[in-house]
């Protein structure tokens, strides 16, 4: 593994409690992201430094842009559609985990056929009752996997023959065989298991070379992992809790990292005053573009 020394910039000192789900809109050259406890969807313009937000009645944890415009959302109680940034949400029924009110959606993204894959977490952080769901363009919902405490790190390999999925408290990222046409996953194998106390795998993205970038919560860094599970580079971030990495800019070579400040002590905040901000650095290999929801 090599320590890579990139110029890290805090492009937005947002002081988010739990910044998450950065998604680059190529059409607008803007970065959308959420602050989960604040129930806010943000839109950040790197060219001007302007950031605007809108609120919801419940926590929004993940989303994807839609081909028709607007967003598909992963909320506390289920999926929903949003026609435009300031619009009203349109719930998609049924609520997938109405029988588990302590659960909520946590992390998700679309495959190239426009299906939205999203996982849930156990709000108590004690039970492995989180699951992975697939929302199809016809708005039908299928439960695809289960048995995790905090679903995270969902990403696809460039050829979409692998689906990556992490369970943060277990410090493990799994690689599932993925059949794009059928929309199914096979028996997983462990891509990487992180040592306890050195950061937990949170949100992730994949670059054009097929390397998996993982943001490490309580780890002060993001790491680049080969398809064989080897950490080939790590980039230090001046925030203790890194939550997700995404690629943007016209060439998809600008990495954006969201972070969190919730739960940090006064001493930890003093040592990491920019926690909750959005950071950026340049990479040599472009990231993969995020696909849009076809529904």
Q: Residue 126 sits in a domain of what CATH number?
A: 2.120.10.30
Domain encompassing residue 40: 2-282
80, part of any domain: yes
Q: What is the pLDDT of residues 171-224, one digit of tens each?
A: 999 999 999 999 999 999 999 999 999 999 999 999 999 999 999 999 999 999
> Phi-psi bin for 126: left (phi > 0), alpha (psi -120 to 50), beta?
alpha
Number of domains the chain contains: 1
Residue 194: the pLDDT is 97
Structure tokens at 248: 């943007």
Residue 125: the pLDDT is 83
Q: Is 15 helix (H, G, I), strand (E, B) or coil?
A: coil
Question: What is the bridge-based pairing of β-strands 19-25 and 30-35?
Answer: antiparallel
287, part of any domain: no
Sequence-ordered list of residues with C-beta below 8 angstroms from that of 107, at least 6 positions apart, any chain? 20, 21, 61, 62, 118, 119, 151, 152, 153, 154, 203, 244
Q: Given pLDDT bands bounded at 50, 70 and 90, which one contains residue 72? A: very high
- Distance (Å, whole) CA 87 – CA 81: 10
Residue 99: the pLDDT is 82
Active site residues: 202
- Distance (Å, whole) CA 76 – CA 38: 13
In this model, does residue 159 exceed pLDDT 70?
Answer: yes
Q: Given pLDDT bands bounded at 50, 70 and 90, which one contains residue 293? A: very high
- Distance (Å, whole) CA 57 – CA 278: 24
Residue 2: the pLDDT is 47
What's the whole-model pTM score? 0.96
Q: What is the mean pLDDT of residues 157-171?
A: 97
295, part of any domain: no
Q: Given pLDDT bands bounded at 50, 70 and 90, which one contains residue 18? A: very high
In this model, does residue 88 exceed pLDDT 70?
Answer: yes
166, part of any domain: yes
293, part of any domain: no
Q: What is the pLDDT of residues 31-44, one digit of tens each?
A: 999 999 999 999 99
- Distance (Å, whole) CA 295 – CA 291: 12
Residue 98: the pLDDT is 80
Residue 124: the pLDDT is 83
- Distance (Å, whole) CA 90 – CA 80: 5
169, part of any domain: yes
Residue 126: the pLDDT is 86
Residue 97: the pLDDT is 84
Strand partners, 212: 206, 225
């Amino acid at each position: 593994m090599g320590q890579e020394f990139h110029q890290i910039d805090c492009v937005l000192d947002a002081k988010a409690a739990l910044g998450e789900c950065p998604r680059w809109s190529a059409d607008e050259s803007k970065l959308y992201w959420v602050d989960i406890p604040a129930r806010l969807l943000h839109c950040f313009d790197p060219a001007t430094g302007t950031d605007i937000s809108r609120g919801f009645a419940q926590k929004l944890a993940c989303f994807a842009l839609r081909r028709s415009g607007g967003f598909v959302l992963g909320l506390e109680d289920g999926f929903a559609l949003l026609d435009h940034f300031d619009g009203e949400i349109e719930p998609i029924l049924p609520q997938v985990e109405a029988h588990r009110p302590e659960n909520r959606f946590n992390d998700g993204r679309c495959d190239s056929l426009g299906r939205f894959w999203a996982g849930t977490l156990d709000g108590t952080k004690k039970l492995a009752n989180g699951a992975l769901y697939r929302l199809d363009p016809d708005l039908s919902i299928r439960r695809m996997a289960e048995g995790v405490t905090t679903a995270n790190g969902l990403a696809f390999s460039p050829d979409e023959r692998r689906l990556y999925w992490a369970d943060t408290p277990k410090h493990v990222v799994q690689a599932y065989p993925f059949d794009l046409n059928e929309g199914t996953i096979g028996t997983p194998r462990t891509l990487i298991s992180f040592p306890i106390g050195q950061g937990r795998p949170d949100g992730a993205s994949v670059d054009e070379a097929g390397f998996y970038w993982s943001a490490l919560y309580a780890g002060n860094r993001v790491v680049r992992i080969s398809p064989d599970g080897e950490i080939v580079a790590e980039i230090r971030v001046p925030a203790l809790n890194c939550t997700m990495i995404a690629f943007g800019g016209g060439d998809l070579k600008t990495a954006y990292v969201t972070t969190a400040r919730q739960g940090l002590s006064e001493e930890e905040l003093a040592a990491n005053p920019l926690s909750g901000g959005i950071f950026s650095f340049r990479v040599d290999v472009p990231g993969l573009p995020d696909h849009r929801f076809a529904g």
